[in-house]
Structure 1
Amino acid sequence: MALILNIETATKNCSVALAKDGKTLAIREIATQNFSHAEKLHVFIEELFAETHLKLQDLNAIAVSQGPGSYTGLRIGVSAAKGLCYALSVPLISVDTLELLARKISITDGIIVPMIDARRMEVFCAFFDSNYNKIGETKAEVIDETSYQDISETMHLIGDGAMKFKEVLTDAKFHYYPEIEFPSSNEMAQVSFQKFQNNQLEDVAYFEPFYLKDFVMLTKKS
């Protein structure tokens, strides 16, 4: 038996789920424009344990979304996860954020292309097959009307980044899912459990999020 706390804060969605043996027992999440992660994350964790009548000490591991995504969101999630791992002496598991987003849909043909908004015309994206195997490297990519011209397969574009290009990528091969904006901790349950079983764990002391791009501080001009 494995009880795992799953934390997803890489996007505007602050999402936390408690899962047992790969199945979600309870979940809390909220997506707001003004990132509420710092205020909501620990509150959500407390609510999960109150709802399930379990204790932090019952946990076998903590899983966290590793990125790419929001610099601030990733820092908050990873810091919380590492703090709990230290306090409870349990292992840390990391999960690819784009894989979590890809797992929001099920396909029988084509390619899943999860896209996380990286501002302007840029997205964090990768390619996944119908079994959620990554078949292309994760990129920070600027999208225009010439993107993916060499691909003939059906492309399932999902995430808040994808919807920016519905008027740009208009070929019939592009399929959009406007109802799916962000990854969720719910899809982490099965992945984190598999990694726990396979002993695919992180070094808590040295683990860092996968930012993909350097953080740039924007300042107002005087």
Structure 2
Amino acid sequence: MDNKPAWTESGAILNQLMEIARISALAEMASGIAHELNQPLGAIATFAQAGERMLNRPDPLLGQALDVFRHINHEALGAGDGIRRIRRIFEHERAAHEVCRMADLVGELRPVLDMLATRVNGRLQVEIGTAPELPGLRLDRLKIQHVLFALVQNAFDAASVRADQVPEVRIEISGDRYAIETSVIDSGEGVPAEIQGQLFRPFFTTKLRGTGLGLASSRAIIEAHEGTIGFEVRKQGGSRFWFRLPVTAA
């Protein structure tokens, strides 16, 4: 699975690195992000075992197994590419931007996001505003997909805390001619007030094996794209993490 954090504009790079340097050396940052990328490889192995079980059934689930193995192969290769890209990030390599639609980025990443849902026996829904048709954005495809992956992964982790319901995550894409907003909404218990101010700080994590880099790198990516990122605790339960990218960047 790909999980690829990065920065683009040199000013944003320097600002983020100055903040991170107060906590740890850049080498540690690179190592931590690489570790974050390597974790999905363990999930890939788990899904491979699941695929094998599908084939070993008295009535093999051939179609489902083939889909699983295709996605595993593709994402395993992509994870290696992601690690190489991260190394280049810290050499201040400028990323190439292209015009993309958020709906297309979500669609490309959907098989991986569905795997996250399967891992916790959860459900993933995607809702895309179409009236009027949402414009494209000039962005780095892989970096924005990293943000999506990180937010959805966190959302399923949060939703899985509640044992009284099926973990549910919903992605909503909306916008107008000025900006496109992407929201990731979970059915969890919300973000405790005492940690809300720390969520986007590098190396802050509430997970036993977390690196604390997913949200920090996501913020850096979105701000480097001249966008904004934030969250809110929903009155009806759960949280909504969102990021907004300006159409003027297209």
The normalised TM-score by structure 2 is: 0.23
Choose between structure 1 and 2: higher helix proportion. Answer: 2
Choose between structure 1 and 2: higher strand proportion. Answer: 1
The normalised TM-score by structure 1 is: 0.25
